[in-house]
Structure 1
Amino acid sequence: MSRCYKHHFSNWKYNHSTHVRSSIMRKRLWIYLFRNKLKVFTIIWILILSVNIYQQRKSQSTYIELDNAAEKSRHYKQSQLPETKTEPLRIKSANKEANSFQPFSPYDKPLDNSVYEHIPESFRTNHSTVKSITYSFSTTIRKEGPGFTLITMFNLFTGQAIEGYDKESLQNQINRNWEYLSTIKENINHEQIKRVVLLYADDNSIKVLYQQNWVNNSKIFPMKMPRLIHMSDFFNISSIHLLDEPVIAANGDILIGENFDQIDTIRLRDTKTLYTLTRHGNRGIGDCVAQSMCLMKYYGSHDTHIFRLKSPVPATALQHLNYPVNLQQAENGMIGILKTELKFTVYNPCPILKTYHIHCSQIAKRLKKGHNSIRDSPWNIRIIKTSRPIYSLKYGL
């Protein structure tokens, strides 16, 4: 037998024996699994259960993490903190004892035609008879009665040039106005909402609202702002006018839904707990099917925040919250600041506390430019995209 032949034969013999041994091992493994299937299934079940428990504990502990730089932020001096170009808004009441002021006076002039053509047909009135409409908006923030104060923004398309929206069609703007007006109308009729603080920057928006002779107009409290809404405004206004009052801060197209009567607001205050909700669909309002952000994989979109402040939010935290609400990661930045600086416990009980997103129009804009509170060290907050919503309420449901 030649040397070459011996070499090939030995290789074949080795490969064949290896194949036979692996085949025998596979057969033995299948026989073992078949004979001990109960034990195997038990082991697999325990592994799956262990993974689920680990994920649940991980999501319950936090779904926002700080980068390593954020851990060192508490040791920074005041001079090293991120600077903002505009100071957080401070609103002083005209009558400190009654904690009230007149945010605007009734309009005695009809709407301009350019504004009127932006109003949806179902919300149009005879705008030449504006004087005959009874002025019924609230002019006082009083701490009285059960229920929540809803703080939300209200700025309609009224023909004014708005950066980033100059190419939107008139019909898209009318559709978006219908969504805003429908949301406000539904929210003031909610039995758990005792007051709606509307933050607006454009007088024409309130002129349109002023013409709506709704039954619960007395719940509306318009508050004019010098600019579009910042995240700090929610907590600043609550610190000044709504201390120790249950507050819901929400986007202008969020409809408050079911089960808000179950919230123990005293416990919310005493345990420094923040409920920050991801939304459901649009509940059949509009001509589209809006996607639910509650029961899906964590997306990081929180549109409603429920809290009850026991003490005013410190100026340093307000400074870090002083960025537009439509900034990318704005809610995640707010959650991180409240967790790390103010030591709030954060939950997302969206399967129980339901909110709905009224947005079928094609108008949407998110500012992509970051803010110091979110983007730069030491306040660079990182989203854990794989974490799940938290399904349990603080008070034990």
Structure 2
Amino acid sequence: MIFRLEMASTIKTTNLIIIHVVVILLLYCYASWPFTSIFKFSDHDEQNSPKMKNAHIVKDDWMDIASGDSKMTVTGRDIINDSASETTNSELGISDDRPKGCEVMLNIVTTFPIGSHTNGYEVPSPRQIEYFTALKINMNHPCVDQIHILTDLTKPKDVFNMINDQGVAKSDLRKYITVYSFHDHPTYKVLAKYAADNLKGTVVLFMNADISLDEGFENIKKAFLVDHGMKYAYSLSRHGERAQNATCELWDYCEHYHGSHDAHLMYIHDNFLPFEALELLDYPIDSWGAENVFMYVLLSVGYKIRNPCVILKIYHNHCSKTRSVERDRVNNAYSVGAEPVDSLIEPE
């Protein structure tokens, strides 16, 4: 009898130890994963209104929960004052006579580099202004549904604060912007994993933060991207400065192609990228040749790569000339390019 009691006690102790180990491992894995939790608007009335259905709440770093931080969510209403003004298309140099009907609505997945401020978050540097300009233009584009900003800021609400300071109306912020916080430098793996987990069944445009969309996107047909007989991915080369508000001359990589691609548009299918493909993308998005490795991966999983930059026009906002000097080249082993073409599908 004593032996049985001792054995039961030993088994119980062993089970408790196993449970504790499993819990610790789960907490460690959760804290190590780059994405933090995302919450919807907490206000019940606004949360259920049609206008607010696409608005997202951003939670600060996961560790804030562990430390008991009571401010775990941030809404557009929390951080945007009522005096924020609308930014008009004319102020951005955008023509108001662009086509309004787009068969394919785009989910832009991008970053929003921070750290080039001269005085905290109140006086943005010229480089930061270029990011703001591109963001505003894309928010006003008729073919853009949502803009998903991935940031490594400890307090992602700072992104909302800065956008608000540049005159973006709170209604636009609520409708068009989603911010995800993660723990490390943005990589193509992080962006691709985010799209696979959150944007399946939509058309996604991965692109750099200083790129803005212009004409041509209303010509895209969903069948070009979804039909497995076609399944195109458009890897676009940028044009130079925007003619309406140019303050410098920038190289036109669509007219003078040198292997550069700044935006990648595709439909996110089920099993978008397998694990092995994602592992090839584990490098910073601003690495030399980063886009060429991404194109190689897309080609390897069955996408047809095409560069119709003559039709789908994107522009570069970078007259400040500020850039990172420490960048590695990553396309030494795997690299794909695509010459500019003037058609969205292969001619019959």
Query: Fold-level match, TM-score > 0.5?
Result: yes
**C-alpha contact (below 8 Å) 1:259/1:352 kept by paired residues:** yes
What's the CA shift for 1:184? 0.7
User: Structure 1 residue 276 and structure 2 residue 231: aligned?
Assistant: no
Question: What's the counterpart of residue 207 of structure 1?
Answer: 161
Question: What's the counterpart of residue 302 of structure 2?
Answer: 343
User: Structure 1 residue 309 and structure 2 residue 268: aligned?
Assistant: yes
Decide which of 288, 296, 304 is 1:328's aligned counterpart.
Answer: 288
Question: What's the counterpart of residue 102 of structure 1?
Answer: 57
Letter in 2 for 1:149: N
What's the CA shift for 1:390? 3.0
Task: Find the residue that maps to 1:381 and give its secondary structure.
Answer: coil
**C-alpha contact (below 8 Å) 2:234/2:308 kept by paired residues:** yes
Between the aligned partners of 2:306 and 2:33, the Cα distance in structure 1 is: 26
**C-alpha contact (below 8 Å) 1:276/1:303 kept by paired residues:** yes
Decide which of 92, 107, 111 is 1:149's aligned counterpart.
Answer: 107
**C-alpha contact (below 8 Å) 1:229/1:324 kept by paired residues:** yes
Question: What's the counterpart of residue 142 of structure 2?
Answer: 191
Decide which of 161, 171, 185 is 1:228's aligned counterpart.
Answer: 185
Between the aligned partners of 2:162 and 2:255, the Cα distance in structure 1 is: 36
Task: Find the residue that maps to 2:57 and give its secondary structure.
Answer: coil
Larger radius of gyration: 1
Task: Find the residue that maps to 1:216 and give its secondary structure.
Answer: helix
1:294 and 1:356, CA in 2 relative to 1: closer, same or farther beyond 3 A?
same
Runs of 4+ in 1 over 6 A off after TM superposition: 98-101
Question: What's the counterpart of residue 392 of structure 1?
Answer: 343
User: Structure 1 residue 355 and structure 2 residue 309: aligned?
Assistant: no
% identity of equivalent residues: 23
1:11-50 alignment runs, 5 A limit = none
Question: What's the counterpart of residue 123 of structure 1?
Answer: none
Mind listing any 5+ residue stretches in structure 2 that lack a counterpart?
A: 1-31, 41-52, 60-72, 85-102
Task: Find the residue that maps to 2:58 and give its secondary structure.
Answer: coil
Decide which of 198, 205, 209 is 1:241's aligned counterpart.
Answer: 198
Decide which of 317, 329, 334 is 1:381's aligned counterpart.
Answer: 334
**C-alpha contact (below 8 Å) 2:55/2:177 kept by paired residues:** no
- Measured against aligned partners, the alpha-carbon deviations of 1:156-201 in whole angstroms (never above 9, x if no partner) come to 335599xxxxxxxxx9x71111111111111101111011111112
**C-alpha contact (below 8 Å) 1:155/1:205 kept by paired residues:** no
Between the aligned partners of 1:255 and 1:197, the Cα distance in structure 2 is: 14
Q: Which has the higher contact order (CA 8 A, sep 6+)?
A: 1
TM-score, normalising length: structure 2: 0.66
What's the CA shift for 1:308? 0.2
What's the CA shift for 1:294? 0.2
1:5-84 alignment runs, 5 A limit = none
TM-score, normalising length: structure 1: 0.58
**C-alpha contact (below 8 Å) 1:189/1:216 kept by paired residues:** no
RMSD over aligned CA atoms reads 3.4
Between the aligned partners of 1:246 and 1:134, the Cα distance in structure 2 is: 34
User: Structure 1 residue 290 and structure 2 residue 245: aligned?
Assistant: no
**C-alpha contact (below 8 Å) 2:58/2:74 kept by paired residues:** no
Say how many residue pairs are matched.
Answer: 261
1:240 and 1:367, CA in 2 relative to 1: closer, same or farther beyond 3 A?
same
What's the CA shift for 1:228? 2.4
What's the CA shift for 1:393? 1.4
Mind listing any 5+ residue stretches in structure 1 that lack a counterpart?
A: 1-86, 109-128, 136-144, 162-170
Task: Find the residue that maps to 1:305 and give its secondary structure.
Answer: strand
Between the aligned partners of 1:383 and 1:287, the Cα distance in structure 2 is: 32
**C-alpha contact (below 8 Å) 1:99/1:241 kept by paired residues:** no
Between the aligned partners of 1:315 and 1:91, the Cα distance in structure 2 is: 20
1:201 and 1:93, CA in 2 relative to 1: closer, same or farther beyond 3 A?
closer
- Measured against aligned partners, the alpha-carbon deviations of 1:136-175 in whole angstroms (never above 9, x if no partner) come to xxxxxxxxx96111111112335599xxxxxxxxx9x711
Between the aligned partners of 1:250 and 1:209, the Cα distance in structure 2 is: 19
Question: What's the counterpart of residue 174 of structure 1?
Answer: 125
Between the aligned partners of 1:152 and 1:257, the Cα distance in structure 2 is: 17
Between the aligned partners of 1:261 and 1:269, the Cα distance in structure 2 is: 16
Letter in 2 for 1:243: K
1:195 and 1:309, CA in 2 relative to 1: closer, same or farther beyond 3 A?
same
**C-alpha contact (below 8 Å) 1:231/1:321 kept by paired residues:** yes
What's the CA shift for 1:325? 0.6
